[in-house]
Structure 1
Amino acid sequence: MKHPLIVFTLGAALLLSLPARAAEIDWKKVDAALGKTAAVSGEVHRYGLPRSDLHVTLDGIAIKPALALGGWVAFAPMHGQAMVMGDLVLLETEITPVMTKLLDSGLEITAIHNHILRASPATFYMHVAGHGDPEKMAAAIRAALSTGSKTSFDPPAATAGAAPTVDLDTAKLDEIMRAKGTATGGVYQFGIPRREPAKESGMQVNTALGGANAINFQPTGGGKAAITGDFLVTGNEVNPLIRALRSGDIDVTAIHSHMLDEEPRMFFIHFWANDDAVKLARTVRAALDKTDVAQH
């Protein structure tokens, strides 16, 4: 039987060898490693990685970064370190070099797929995950994107005048969607969470970690909007939701997973349409009502 003093000494040494507690994460160092400033939501630090360098069109519409080119990574404290989840927007030629660098650094790839169809150039979305030292993971993500893609880490260029307006009846959209949207980069965005968020590695996948239904409206003139985003649903909700979308002539462009070990198992359904914004909002809301979303 070990002497109590020896046990205490060994325990103290083990504690001293563990990484800093979550509360001791120096987020300024994580910001510096990634070259970005986080948007903070509770304990989650989320970094936007928009592909502002790309000029993507779909059905003659110039896609704004906030509509479908908004890459991101988010960090949350976990077991004295941090977990990271993210969605990187890449061209086809960028997939392998970025993946290789991420894998070499110990990060994981959880999905690669399209979100939209017919876009020129075609864009793909690489979902990443990891657990460890947040500063090191941030540096690894920046290195992978800097060497394997043309993702910009420069701060947004200052523009004269007001932010781009959203030429839509946003009050009406809020009423139909039963949620308050946010204007970002000329796009009106909704993030509508599920009633009970999924869990990954015991952590709730909340809105900041990509655990919400994302619906984006980009004005295309005359009260019309291009819409895209993704719904987050369980397996039994997939077909009721896509039937509701198709009944309103909204294209279903992808059905797939973003994570590997979440509970319950979740699927992400991506979509596209360019039509009267109010009509589209009604169809989207009807589709949401086929799922277990938080009610407002």
Structure 2
Amino acid sequence: MSATRRGRTGAPSVLGALAALTASAFALTGCGAADGHRADGHAGAPERAHCPRLQRPIATADADWRAVAKALGRTGALREKVVYGVSLPRRDLKVTSRGVDIGSSLALNGAADFARYCDGTMLMGDLVLTEDELPKATEALQKAGFEQTALHKHLPDQTPPIWWTHYQAMGDPVTLARKLKAVLEVSGDPVAVPPPESTKPIDLDTAEIDEALGRKGIAEGRTYKFFIGRGETVTSHGHVLPAPIGVDTVIKFQALGDERAAVTGDIVMTAHEVQKVIRALHEGGFELVELHNHMLDDEPRLFYLHYWGIGDGAELARGLRPALDATNLAPPAPES
């Protein structure tokens, strides 16, 4: 997930339609919200006649998100041309789990993911919080009108205890960004500490890991990571959810030296896949950490299983493969 690294309550007003905008406003929200629309996305009277029944995310360019980056005070990256993802790493936290010093890119990385649709912009993500910060974040998210859709831990035996809270909102993208910035200011600043400089190559056999998992990973400092989407279409209230908005399986290896690694992440499953994945992870020697939902109204209903393991990086990858094969993964992207 960030790593990543990822619902709504079921009330139609949450993702209800927004009034049509002028052509200039369309550049930010697709079909957008009128000036009088509430920034949290809860419209008074839905007007979606101009939008298709099943809405797909609208392709955008980096320039379309400059105002969002400015309002949030953080620059993101455009993924698959439809999701503007902003990483929220907690580099200020010092966390250990099972004797491992957890890097922010391994398991301390929150996210803010924006996607444009005909009736507005969707924001989904999660925040990494200490127990002291959690009540402040909850209060700020509720004040902002954001929905909290999950609350859980990602790591076993962690010191200090760290929580992840997932949130969602719909509305004008710049207003959403401003509200999220206000939340971050009272609940732990994800960019309070700059990233450490590192020129060391990652001490993992990444080619063997790629072969074992049947995909090519992404190196980020001492972390080697994979994000794998589902093979079927996932929707929420008539909106097709692209994988980078948080409906993908995440695998992250943190190099520990001598080609050893700590591996963690979550596997996305439908209900009939859950027991098969649990058995595969258990037989592979992995520790099961959490089983939960990230959203409230996804279709098909998705479950997320967080896991943990330490060992030779390539052997860990081979151990994970049966669990991945028990789910409906999207095929690997063709190499360019």
Q: TM-score, normalised by structure 1?
A: 0.89
Residue of 180, 202, 206 corresponding to 2:238: 202
Amino acid across the alignment from 2:168: A
Find the counterpart in structure 1 of residue 175 from structure 2: 136
The structure-2 alpha-carbon separation of the partners of 1:264 and 1:86, relative to structure 1 and needing over 3 Å to count, comes to: same
Task: Write the distance in 1 (CA, Å) between the matches of 2:253 and 2:196.
Answer: 24
Work out the CA distance in 2 between the residues paired with 1:279 and 1:16.
Answer: 54
1:177, distance to aligned residue in structure 2 (A):
0.4
**Paired residue for 1:20?**
25
| The structure with more radius of gyration | 1
In 1, are the aligned partners of 2:286 and 2:307 still within 8 Å (CA)?
yes
State the 1:223 CA deviation. 2.0
Q: 1:277 to 1:254 in 2, by over 3 A?
A: same
Given candidates 69, 73, 82, the residue that maps to 1:43 is: 82
Within 5 A, what are the aligned runs for 1:109-258?
109-152=148-191, 156=194, 159=197, 162=199, 164-258=200-294
- Partner residue in 1 for 2:68: 30
* 1:56 partnered with 2:95: yes
Q: Establish whether residue 87 from structure 1 lines up as the match of residue 126 from structure 2.
A: yes
Q: Percent of aligned positions with the same letter in both sequences?
A: 38
8 Å Cα contact 2:31/2:118 also seen in 1: no
The structural deviation recorded for 1:129 is 0.2
Measured after TM superposition, the shift of residue 277 of structure 1 is: 1.4
Instruction: Specify whether residues 206 and 144 from structure 1 end up closer, same or farther in structure 2 by C-alpha distance, changes over 3 A only.
Output: same
Gaps of 5+ in 1: 1-13
* Superposed CA offset, 1:21-72 (max 9, x none): 2348852111011111110021210000000000111121111111101111
Larger relative contact order (Cα-Cα within 8 Å, sequence gap ≥ 6): 2
Q: Distance in 2 between matches of 1:270 and 1:15?
A: 41
**What are the superposed Cα offsets for residues 85-132 of structure 1, whole Å, 9 maximum, x if unpaired?**
001111111111111111111111001111111011111101000000
Kindly provide the amino acid, as one letter, of the partner of residue 75 in structure 1.
Answer: F
Displacement of 1:185 after TM fit? Answer: 2.8
The residue identity in structure 2 corresponding to 1:273 is G
Are the aligned partners of 1:51 and 1:151 in contact in 2 as well (CA < 8 Å)? yes
Partners of 1:241 and 1:100 in 2: how far apart? 36
- Could you tell me whether the CA contact under 8 Å between 2:30 and 2:120 is conserved in 1? no
Displacement of 1:295 in angstroms is 3.1
The offset of 1:228, in angstroms, is 0.2
Residue 48 (structure 2) aligns with:
none
Counterpart for residue 314 of structure 2: 278
- Amino acid in structure 2 at the alignment position of 1:35: G
SS at match of 1:75: strand
Give the match's secondary structure for 2:216: coil
User: What is the one-letter code of the residue matched to 1:20?
Assistant: A
**Equivalent pair of 1:227/1:272 in contact (CA under 8 Å):** yes
How big is each residue's C-alpha offset from its partner over 1:170-221, in whole Å with a ceiling of 9 and x where there is no partner? 0000011000100013100011111114212222322210111100011112
- Work out the CA distance in 1 between the residues paired with 2:85 and 2:176: 13
From the superposition, tell whether residues 94 and 197 of structure 1 become closer, same or farther in structure 2 (CA, over 3 Å): farther
SS in 2 for 1:20: helix
Secondary structure of residue in 2 paired with 1:109: strand
The one-letter code of the counterpart of 2:179 is A
Between 199-208 and 218-227, the greater mean CA deviation after superposition = 199-208
Give the corresponding residue for 1:72.
111
More helix by percentage = 1
The alignment's TM-score, normalised by the length of structure 2, stands at 0.79
What is the RMSD computed on CA atoms of the aligned residues?
A: 2.0
- Alignment correspondent of 1:3: none
CA distance in 2, matches of 1:204, 1:138: 22
With over 3 angstroms needed to count, the CA separation of the structure-2 counterparts of 1:157 and 1:295, relative to structure 1, is closer
Shift of 1:15: 4.1
Partner Cα separation in structure 2 for residue 174 and residue 157 of structure 1: 26
Deviation of 1:150 (Å): 3.8
Name the SS of the counterpart of 1:282 in structure 2.
Answer: helix
Corresponding residue SS for 1:213 = strand
